[in-house]
Structure 1
């Protein structure tokens, strides 16, 4: 494509006249908004180490009581988007949240969808629309758009989890807001889903009236399924998606979630795709290569990769590694924007 005229090529008087009338010439910026062949991402390949986050999060618990914070969170911000914009990718917000023993994070509901992946600690819970969901390491708990939810802690040690929200997209659409509420009466303990690992018996089955029939995905069950698949499949990636068991679709509408097992001494080469991705180590150790960048990740570390990046998951240890992945594929697929390309 030939070089387009620059803004500096236009007379100053002409540019000032356009500005005064709230007009902007497209052609000087056309290649920025419509670059040839692939996007120019602001999302940078970056990692956040849990060993760096945890002491600062614990200190936040000493500095700010829950009553003054509502949600005590440190945001994992990508510098490519500007730290002040509090986003990991253009669609995904990440935050590490702390709840201390006997604390209660008050009930509210908001327009962004959220999930909680439990990083550390026991005996905390999230109540979603009256369903009390215990929070154990590796569990995934949904708090979808518009549903009341609150967090409580009956244990003796701090509990930390990773928040994943589609806040950047909802905020960009000027549709982001929150509503406060009262403590919810518990109507269901949520300790055992009637769907088991997400399988639904078809005979005499009646679909649930709500869009989210399963709010808690226990890590013990997801890990067992990954191990079972690894025994049955000696080669190739072992990956399971968190889905709505009623429909088989992604468990939420905008961000997709999955878990991957990387066997001992195995390398998985992922196909470049149009969706940015977030990686969080649930168990084990991982060398994560994103293009020319290499990140050595341990349990509870988090990283993200921009769109169309070449990503390698490398396990050099003698034990398997389990990784939680969040990506932008669901919203892109709904808009017919999603694509996968061959590796270079």
Structure 2
């Protein structure tokens, strides 16, 4: 291989902790290049830094802008085989234009027009849907080929709908209004480790699946607090409960703050209630690679600055406030999304009231790659007061 063909380039640099630049060193480095070798002593500061140095940047996306552009896309971009979904991904400015919110997390706004269907497919990427506004779309999970009809799962404001990888799924809008929601997936992670598979399903769901039940079959079986159906043995990876309803999340957060006011604790810190969505089968995270949480911050309360390994995406579900991520600070309102890269300190101050929040608090939905970091024993957290 000639020196012009090799992708490896090892410059000899006169710098502290580097070898003296001599003709012998230059010759050695040319030999490394020919054999596609890179010496650690020239790379250690980048490959093994003292602390995480994420390529992702703290960034904020305004919901009003996302919604406006999604509406425009709804008028001119069809939903069908090939494109599959009218989904518009958040592209972190630090990641070179890739459609990745963080190095491991994908977040997108998806938009479905009245009467439209998003065709059936499946993929190894684990996914969820979170609804910040609207209702009228049903997600049909499973039910392809000779199997029974898929489970029609309603989507309404505040609902969280996990979808473990390699499950057939389609969407249909049964109303006369368009609907938008947020998709979260581990696409960047699976892309990085080269594990992804994708398969097209049916062109159309059956009439038996084009129904609009108030509750899905999964909710009727698994959606009862603390109760596991004995008719079910082992389940696949990911939660068998396909919808976590807002009324339950809201009640849990409200009760935590009420207990705190009554002097019984119950919050993670003063004025800060939080819950994690868990698998009712075994208490684990709802998806193998994604963690989902909901945080409610009472008006006037401020969370302690915390930094963690791994990255997160937040969506403001309700209310207003100020969030700080590293050196960045933004005023946020309903629907806004922002990224917290690895080891960047995050804190939030609630400025919400009854005029801009149903709960009178700042409500934040969060998802992260924490299960991956915990499984690999790479998780670390630090309060940075």
Q: What is the match of residue 227 of structure 1?
A: 254
Distance 2:205 2:17 in 1: 59
Superposed CA deviations along residues 268-319 of structure 1, whole A, max 9, x for unmatched, are 1242211212110111112111122111111111001112222111112332
1:201 to 213, 227, 239: 227
Cα distance per residue 1:197-250 (max 9 Å; x no partner): 662236x84554323320111112211211122111233521010000111111
Query: Which of residues 118, 123, 144 in structure 1 aligns to 2:131?
Result: 118
SS in structure 1 opposite 2:42?
helix
The answer to whether 1:173 aligns with 2:193 is yes
1:177: Cα distance to partner? 2.5
- For the 8 Å contact 1:131–1:190, the answer to whether it is kept is no
- 1:48 corresponds to: 61
1:92 aligns with 2:105: yes
Matched residue SS, 1:59: helix
Matching of residue 33 in structure 1 with residue 61 in structure 2: no
Q: Is residue 2:85 matched to residue 1:71?
A: yes
Residue number in structure 1 paired with 2:147: none
Instruction: Report whether the alignment pairs 1:325 with 2:345.
Output: no
Residues 11-30 of structure 1 mapped to structure 2, 5 A cutoff: 11-30=25-44
Distance 1:91 1:7, change over 3 A: farther
Per the TM alignment, residue 40 of structure 1 is displaced from its structure 2 partner at its CA by 0.9
| 1:216 aligned residue (221, 229, 243) | 243
In 1, distance between residues paired with 2:305 and 2:224? 25
CA contact under 8 A between 1:197 and 1:221: conserved in structure 2? no
Please report how far the alpha carbon of residue 262 of structure 1 lies from its aligned counterpart in structure 2 after TM superposition.
Answer: 0.8
Q: Give the superposition deviation at 1:153.
A: 0.3
Partner Cα separation in structure 1 for residue 95 and residue 254 of structure 2: 37
Change (3 A) 1:167 1:281: same
Deviation at 1:341, TM superposition (A): 1.6
8 Å CA contact 2:222, 2:241 repeated in 1: no
Is 1:132 aligned to 2:167, yes or no? no
Relative distance call for 1:18 and 1:154 in structure 2 (3 A) is: same
Higher alpha-carbon deviation: 7-16 or 310-319: 7-16
In the aligned structure 2, how far is the partner of 1:159 from the partner of 1:29?
49
Structure 2 length as normaliser, TM-score?
0.82
Does 304-313 or 181-190 show the bigger shift?
A: 181-190
* Residue aligned with 2:175, SS: coil
User: How far did residue 11 of structure 1 move?
Assistant: 4.8
Shift of residue 87 of structure 1? 0.9
The answer to whether the 8 Å contact 1:132/1:190 transfers is no
User: Corresponding residue for 2:181?
Assistant: 161
Larger gyration radius, structure 1 or structure 2: 2
TM-score (norm 1): 0.91
1:310 corresponds in structure 2 to 345
- Once residues 69 and 240 of structure 1 are traced to their aligned partners in structure 2, the CA distance between those partners, rounded to angstroms, is 35
* Compared CA separation, residues 197 and 283, structure 1 to 2 (3 A): farther
For 1:195 and 1:4, the matched residues in 2 are separated by: 63
Separation in structure 2 between the aligned mates of residue 149 and residue 54 of structure 1, nearest angstrom = 24
Name stretches of at least 5 consecutive residues in structure 2 with no aligned partner: 1-14, 143-149, 262-269, 354-359
Is 1:106 matched with 2:119? yes
